[in-house]
Amino acid sequence: MNLRGLDLNLLVVLDALLDEAHVSRAADRLNMSQPAASAALQRCRHLFRDELLERGRGTMRLTAKAASLRAPLKTLLAGVTDLVDPLEVPLSEVHQHIRIAMADYPALVVVGPLQRALSETAPGIDLVIQPWHGAAAAKAALVDGSTDLAISVLPEDDEEIQREELMSENYVVALRQDHPALAAFDLDSWLSWPHILVSGRGETRSQLDTELSRLGRTRRVGLVVPSFGMVPDLLRGSEMIAMLPSRVVATAGDLVTLPTPIPVDGFPLHLAWHRRRAKDRALRHVASLLAAALR
């Protein structure tokens, strides 16, 4: 292939097209006209001998070839940016989207403080909070560039993904202020009342149930919900009990918290990004604010 005829700007347009899977949205993102973006797509199709974007049911979707191009294209463009090394724009003048994949906890704790801090330090940085689909999906999204940062319990960093431990979380028992179990709270009273379990997959058992079974005990899971944010109101209006991360309860304010009657392992929270983004100022700034909010 003759690289003299390759326009790097075409690859920038292709990067946006693959991110958005939509010609008009890609054009808006790059401040170009829709016809110009369509023409660039046609040139890319000719260059890669593939449709790249094909019509699905009322939407566009990436072909297998397009999906395979996402990660190497991100790496290539990041390398070109590092090579050119443009003058740094002040953070107050940066305009960029940062996409963060995380579950509703820690989102419940960090999104508010993060947004307020950005409004003061980098008001042009816009946030997109993406749903959490597990560590494997988060790593794949960091690699292909559809996610910029991920927060959760993540595997060790590797050649592609850099990971930083932000904090260690522990579980507490939460219940309403006048709950009958408070009169003499112990393992028996804890297990005498129905529990609320948070599970994004609708599971009715957790690691706690495994620990209880080792002791020859069981609990009744009276309600399974997909979000930690739903639990405080449910506790206030019922005699149910929940075991929650301590910072989730701290945001509720008016619930009673107690240590778990049996030892329950906590968990670390990690912040991760792709190593090719190490020099992205907007990403680094958001990462530092997230770390401060959680620590």
Picking from 196, 176, 172, the residue whose alpha carbon sits closest to that of residue 245 is: 172
Residue 8 included in any domain = yes
**Are 202 and 274 found together in one domain?**
no
Please state, in angstroms and rounded to a whole number, the distance separating the CA atoms of residues 73 and 80.
Answer: 11
Residue 81 included in any domain = no
Neighbours of 201 (CB within 10 A): 7
User: Locate tokens 């990067």: which residue?
Assistant: 15
> For every one of its 295 residues, what pLDDT tens digit does the chain have, with 9 covering 90 and above?
555 557 778 888 888 888 888 888 888 888 889 888 889 889 889 888 889 888 877 678 889 898 888 888 888 888 777 666 665 778 888 889 999 999 889 998 899 999 999 999 999 999 999 999 988 899 999 998 899 999 988 877 678 899 999 999 999 999 999 999 999 999 999 999 999 999 988 999 999 999 999 999 999 999 999 999 999 999 999 999 999 999 999 888 899 999 999 999 999 999 999 998 888 899 999 999 999 988 7
The whole-number pLDDT of residue 87 equals 57
What is the DSSP annotation of 105-137?
A: HHHHHHHHHHHHHHHHH-TTEEEEEEPP--HHH
53 lies in which domain range? 3-68
**Are 132 and 255 found together in one domain?**
no
The whole-number pLDDT of residue 73 equals 87
**Are 177 and 259 found together in one domain?**
yes
Q: Please give the structure tokens belonging to residue 149.
A: 């940062």
**Are 280 and 244 found together in one domain?**
no
| Number of independent structural domains in the chain | 3
Please state, in angstroms and rounded to a whole number, the distance separating the CA atoms of residues 272 and 148.
Answer: 9
- Look at residue 226 and give its three-state secondary structure: coil
Residue 44 included in any domain = yes
Give the sign of the dihedral formed by CA 127, CA 128, CA 131, CA 137. negative
CATH number at residue 149: 3.40.190.10
Please state, in angstroms and rounded to a whole number, the distance separating the CA atoms of residues 273 and 99.
Answer: 11
